[in-house]
Amino acid sequence: MRFKSLAAIAVAALALTACDDTTGTLGNSLTDNMDNMIISTDTFGIVSQSVIADSVLANSSTGYLGRVKDPETGAYITGDYMVQFHALDNFSFQNDTSYVYDDSIKVKITTAKNPSGELKADSCSLQLFYDSYFGDSLQDMKCTVYEMEKPMEEGTHYYSNFDPYAEGYVKADGIKKSRVYTLADMNLTSSERSSKNYTPNIKIWLDEPYTKNGKTYNNYGGYITAMYHKNPADFHQIYRFIHNVIPGFYIKHTGGTGSMAYLFQTHLNVNYHYTVHIDTLNSKGNSQGKDTTYTYHDIATFSGTEEVLQHTNITNSKSTMEALVSDKSCTYLKTPAGLFTEITIPVDSIMKGHNYDSLNTAKIIFQRINNTSTSKYNLSVPKTLMIIPYDSLYSFFENEDIINYRTSFYATYVKKASSTSSTSNTYTFNNIAGLISSMYKNKATGDPNWNKAVIIPVSISTTTSSSNTTIISKVVHDMSLTSTKLVKGTSFDKTISPITINIIYSRFDKK
């Protein structure tokens, strides 16, 4: 009866994981003939330690701006934001059309250019829209906008420690405009903030005279309209727009501690006007010869969204990170670009004496340690973790890989035990057998990290097909503010280490 029970456990494990990985010469699969199969189990200790992330590929669609302090660890986290813009397809300023018929006032409008031959830009502003934030919305913060010398380029990997100054991306004599703000935006009335048409944003005016290539414009918007008159085609293609008109802006945190805005979109707005002649028509649509002058006001908006490149530069306190890595009582996970947990798996011990067995299940549970800080501004707990081979830490994200359930797996945070989980406050990787198989095969390569893996907080995007099948479509580093401690694995000896890996083997009995 014990043998039948173990066999049932193995089959159930395979059904749950939908993955049967083998090692070495392994390759046999379970069949219905369970009486010819030998099932065995074992448990091994895991060794873990914190590692500094140093930098991560910052390709999140969300930008981060501000500076906060982790109440539990005392670590400061600073976010700066770099963004570039695009014009909508078939973009045009209103006055490039010489004939407009307005049904509302029954008039024919023909354009009359200003004496300069250009539109008049009345004002220009940047709006940084955020849908959420961390920290105190009433805290005074300060940011400074810098004009970029050149745009970010497609095909280039921009990491979170990218320094736009050192790399020559900030224009030395370009725009430098500071703004003190609160995320509660106390410059508006309460009724304005509660309006359904209001989206929280940080607004920065670019209305000072702007000089480029020896020519001075009344504001930055005046430069944009002049460039449009010079060559409208530059506004019809993203590459030409960012290289010939607006390379982008670097928005840097320059004062205050206590809040971090999560930016989902940035607008560059140009308010402008132009003069037109109005020729009143009769009922037959013919001119009545009554020509008057009319001033038309409009706004042009250029968007910085996921369609064009944007980048967050993250700065963590190096000394604090080093101190947390030295903490022997636990391991840490901190985002953005903070700390990961590295594990060493005793692959040799797991495979010893099992060269002809199938490695059916390899399960690890990571127990979270509760936060000891009582601050209302404690960082959130990471929701999703991914485990990958140590040497895939950079290539996985640069290649835009997705979780394949062979060498990469994910686990979600379980706060309380449920019908599908027997443990609380944990992350469970139900079956990483494929990862162990891959490690065992890679041992012969001489890679010093062949039996190491890294635990990384990630954000996962999914898509659902017409048949209601949901698949993972994108995996990126979690760039939000999160932090947690995990129980530390201390030994390969299962009787000593608080973290263990549970293995189920199977093989056919040749007898």
Q: Give the pLDDT score at 211.
A: 94
Please compute the mean of the pLDDT values over residues 162-168 and round it to a whole number.
Answer: 89
Whether the pLDDT of residue 283 is over 90: the answer is: no
What tens digit of pLDDT does each residue of 483-496 get?
999 999 999 999 99
Q: Give the pLDDT score at 100.
A: 45
d(CA 73, CA 320): 8
Q: Give the pLDDT score at 112.
A: 44
Please compute the mean of the pLDDT values over residues 55-74 and round it to a whole number.
Answer: 88
d(CA 202, CA 177): 13
- Which pLDDT band, with edges at 50, 70 and 90, does 250 fall under? very high
d(CA 461, CA 310): 18
Closest CA to 433 of 357, 331, 328: 357
Contacts of 66 (CB under 8 A, 6+ apart): 78, 79, 133, 134, 135, 141, 253, 256, 258, 259, 260, 261
Contacts of 503 (CB under 8 A, 6+ apart): 41, 42, 43, 44, 350, 359, 361, 362
More confident residue, 275 or 170: 170
Q: Give the pLDDT score at 369.
A: 95
Q: Give the pLDDT score at 73.
A: 87
Question: Reduced to 3 states, what is the DSSP secondary structure of residue 415?
Answer: coil
Least reliable range by pLDDT among 65-79, 185-199, 371-385, 458-472: 185-199
Least reliable range by pLDDT among 93-102, 228-237, 255-264: 93-102
Q: Give the pLDDT score at 62.
A: 86
Q: Give the pLDDT score at 352.
A: 94
- Which pLDDT band, with edges at 50, 70 and 90, does 78 fall under? very high
Instruction: Report, in angstroms and rounded to the nearest whole number, the Rg of the chain calculated over CA atoms.
Output: 30
Please compute the mean of the pLDDT values over residues 343-357 and round it to a whole number.
Answer: 93
- Which pLDDT band, with edges at 50, 70 and 90, does 297 fall under? confident
- Which pLDDT band, with edges at 50, 70 and 90, does 34 fall under? low
Q: Which residues of 298-317 are buried (b: 16+ CB within 10 A; e: fewer)?
A: eebebbbeeebbbbbbbbbb
Please compute the mean of the pLDDT values over residues 206-230 and round it to a whole number.
Answer: 93
Please compute the mean of the pLDDT values over residues 355-371 and round it to a whole number.
Answer: 93
What tens digit of pLDDT does each residue of 429-475 get?
999 999 999 999 999 899 999 999 999 999 999 998 878 888 999 99
Least reliable range by pLDDT among 53-57, 96-100, 427-431, 494-498: 96-100
In 400-498, beta strands by DSSP E: 409-414, 426-429, 452-464, 470-477, 482-487
Across the chain, what does the average pLDDT equal? 84
- Which pLDDT band, with edges at 50, 70 and 90, does 7 fall under? very low
Q: Report which secondary-structure segment, H or E, holds 126.
A: strand 120-135
More confident residue, 62 or 352: 352
Entry pTM? 0.82
Q: Give the pLDDT score at 290.
A: 59
Q: Give the pLDDT score at 282.
A: 55
Q: To the nearest whole percent, how much of the chain has pLDDT over 70?
A: 80
Cα–Cα distances in angstroms (integers) from residue 489 to residues 47, 247, 271, 368, 430, in the given order: 4, 48, 60, 12, 18
Q: Give the pLDDT score at 90.
A: 75
Q: Give the pLDDT score at 129.
A: 94
C-beta atoms surrounding 43 within 10 Å: 12
Q: Give the pLDDT score at 238.
A: 87
Q: Give the pLDDT score at 3.
A: 38
More confident residue, 498 or 311: 498
